[in-house]
A and B are shown apart, each in its own frame.
Chain A
Amino acid sequence: MIGSAGAFYLLVNGRVMGASGIIGGLVDRSGWSTWLERAAFIAGLALIPALIRPIYTVPVLTYVTDNLPAIIVAGLLVGIGTRVANGCTSGHGVCGISRFSLRGMSATIFYLLSGGIAVVVFRHFLTVI
C-alpha cells in the first residue's frame, strides 16, 4: 500500500512522495506554490488512518515514551535532520532506493545506522526508552 501510494502520487500528480518534503515545504514556505496539494496529502495522511483504526481488527499501538525531554529532542532531530538531508524514510528510503539513487541509498544507510546506535545507547546503556 505504501508503494502503491508512492506510485500513484508519482504517476498521477507527478511528485515524489516524501513525507518530510511535503510537510517541510509548507513549514518553511519553500513549497508554498503547491500548498493545496501538500495540505490535501497531509489531510489524507492524518484522517484516513484515524477512520480506519477503530474498525481495523488488529490493535494499532503507538507508544510514545513518557520522557518529555527525549520526545522534544527526538522531534527536533527528525525535523532538522530530514530537511537538511532533504528526505526521510519515504523520500530517500522508498522513492530513492527504487530509482537506484545513490543519495537515497546513502541516506538510508546513514539513518538506519544512527537509528540502530540510538536504540542501543538509549535502550540498553542509558535505559531511558
Chain B
Amino acid sequence: MIRALTAFFAGGLFGAGLLVSGMTDTQKVQGWLDIFGDWDPTLAFVMGGAILPMAVAWNIAARRARAVLGNDLPEKSGSEVDRNLVVGSLMFGAGWGLVGLCPGPAVASISWGGTGGVVFLVAMLAGMLVAPAFRARMNRMATALS
C-alpha cells in the first residue's frame, strides 16, 4: 500500500513537471523537433534539467544495496544497440513528431486533450498490445532474410 502511495506521488510529480515544462504542449514539442523550420530549443533545457537530478539519483543508487522500500535497485542496463532499439525508436520518433505526444504527456493531458487526445491514447495502448507480436514477426523476417 505504501508502495502504491509513493508511486502515485511520483506519477503526480512527473505529470506536474510535464505540464509546467511544456511537454504536454504538442505545438511546442513539434517546434522543438522542427530543426529545419522555426526551431524552438527550450525543451532541450527541460530534458537537461531532468537528467541532472536523475544523474545524482543514479549516483546515490550505486552506493546503496536496496531501495527505501526494501526491494533491489534496477541492475545496470545492457549496452547492446540492437535492431529492436533502433527500429522501435525510429517508429516512436515518427509518431511523436506527427502528433507531438509521447507516452507520459499523452496520459498527463488526457483530461484536457479532447477527442484527439483520447483517440491518440487508445491507439497508443493498442500499439503496446500488439508490440510483442510485431517485434517477434520483425525479427523472424530479418532472420529469414539474412
Contact of A78 among B16, B18, B54, B101 (CB under 8 A): B101
Do B67 and A12 have beta carbons less than 8 Å apart?
yes
Do A114 and B94 have beta carbons less than 8 Å apart?
yes
Query: Which residue of chain A lies nearest to B35 when distances are taken between CB atoms in the complex?
Result: A116
Note all chain B residues with C-beta closer than 8 A to A68. Answer: 116, 119
CA distance A65 to B14 in the complex (A): 25
CA distance A70 to B116 in the complex (A): 10
Contact of A76 among B70, B86, B124 (CB under 8 A): B124
Q: Which B residues between 1 and 50 are near A, CB-CB below 8 angstroms?
A: 3-21, 23-27, 30, 33-37, 46-47, 49-50
Query: Which residue of chain A lies nearest to B49 when distances are taken between CB atoms in the complex?
Result: A3
Note all chain B residues with C-beta closer than 8 A to A75. Answer: 95, 99, 119-124, 126-127
Do A6 and B67 have beta carbons less than 8 Å apart?
no
Contact of B74 among A14, A47, A113 (CB under 8 A): A14
Number of interface residues of B (CB under 8 A): 110
Query: Which residue of chain B lies nearest to A44 when distances are taken between CB atoms in the complex?
Result: B11
What interface size band does chain A fall in? Answer: 35 or more
Do A12 and B33 have beta carbons less than 8 Å apart?
no
CA distance A44 to B124 in the complex (A): 19
**A12-B10, A14-B73, A37-B3 known; A79 vs B21 contact (CB < 8 Å):** no
Do A78 and B95 have beta carbons less than 8 Å apart?
yes
CA distance A129 to B31 in the complex (A): 12
**A48-B12, A74-B123, A79-B125 known; A5 vs B33 contact (CB < 8 Å):** no
Do B113 and A106 have beta carbons less than 8 Å apart?
no
Note all chain A residues with C-beta closer than 8 A to B130. Answer: 79-80
Closest beta carbon of chain A to B58's beta carbon, Å: 4
The 10 closest A-B pairs by CB, nearest first: A79-B127, A75-B123, A85-B88, A14-B67, A44-B11, A64-B116, A77-B95, A118-B97, A1-B17, A81-B92
List 12 A-B residue pairs with CB atoms under 8 Å apart, sorted by A's residue number: A1-B14, A24-B131, A53-B112, A71-B123, A73-B95, A74-B99, A78-B91, A85-B84, A88-B92, A98-B58, A99-B58, A118-B98
